[in-house]
Amino acid sequence: MTLWYLDHHFWRAECVRLSCFMTGLPLEDKRVGYDELYGSGMLTFGTFPALEVNGRSIAQTHAMAAFVGKLNGHYPSDPWLAAKVDEIFAGLTDATDLITGTMSIRNPQQKIQTRQQMCQKDGRLTMLLSGVENILAQNGSNGFTAGNSLTIADLALWRAVNWMSCGTLDGIPTDYISHCFPSLWKLHCQVEAMPTVQDWKQRNPHHYRRR
């Protein structure tokens, strides 16, 4: 398998990379520029990342994650728990699309105001993340998405929470998730503390610098 993406640690690619790293599943991590990405023949929808498997492409994040998770045990065999993982990926994708949609707003103040509104109690981002919080609560708020063991959805949430909380998204408070979504924050901290996650971060210091 080969993962095609930029040299970036966005959750869409990072959950697949990290899942393979944690389980020893062989993966060629191909970090390339735009020209090579678009010339790869793997971008079925014209978007990335994409996962190449024996010369064929899987080109949607959820599908890539499910495929890898089924190979290495990071995707539940129980149909109900698998549906919970699927729900997380769908909800996280909606939340991500909502945030990235603001990046086209050219007026900086308008961009900040739009994001601030999304984070209000009745805001769209709060509604979407409340859905994630509810799924985690259904699972007992035990630091996992589905059942009592790590899934690839947990890795996606870990990285997405960091993205939304690191201060690079002007208008989204760094304590927004930790203050409003305790179960989601607990999951993030639990994954963050895993030795293999810390090992991964140490191997990629240009993305995970110590503060």
pLDDT in tens, 135-157: 999 999 999 999 999 999 999 99
* pLDDT(90) > 80: yes
C-alpha radius of gyration, the chain, whole number: 17
Final residue of a structural domain among 73, 90, 107: 73
Q: Are residues 62 and 102 located together in one domain of the fold?
A: no
The pLDDT score that the predictor gives to residue 200 is 97
Final residue of a structural domain among 73, 106, 128: 73
Residue 190: CB atoms within 10 A of its CB come to 16
pTM of the model: 0.95
What is residue 201's three-state secondary structure? helix
Q: What is the distance between the alpha carbons of residues 157 and 160, in angstroms, rounded to a whole number? A: 5
The pLDDT score that the predictor gives to residue 209 is 77
Q: What is the pLDDT of residues 94-132, one digit of tens each?
A: 999 999 999 999 999 999 999 999 999 999 999 999 999
Q: Which domain holds residue 139?
A: 79-194
Torsion of CA 111, 117, 120, 124, to 10 degrees: -100
Q: Are residues 15 and 107 located together in one domain of the fold?
A: no
Instruction: Name which of 177, 20, 37, 150 is nearest 95 in CA terms.
Output: 177
The first and second tokens of residue 48, run together, are 């990335």
Q: Are residues 186 and 154 located together in one domain of the fold?
A: yes
What is residue 57's three-state secondary structure? strand
Name the domain count of the chain. 2
Average pLDDT, the chain: 96
Going from the C-alpha of 9 to that of each of 36, 56, 120, 163, 206, the distances in angstroms are 18, 23, 27, 9, 10
To the nearest 10 degrees (0 to 180), the angle between helices 11-23 and 195-203 is 120
Q: Are residues 108 and 49 located together in one domain of the fold?
A: no
| CB-CB contact of 139 with 147 (8 Å) | yes
pLDDT category at 210 given cuts 50, 70, 90 is low
Residue 117 lies in a domain: yes
Q: Are residues 111 and 189 located together in one domain of the fold?
A: yes
* pLDDT(185) > 60: yes
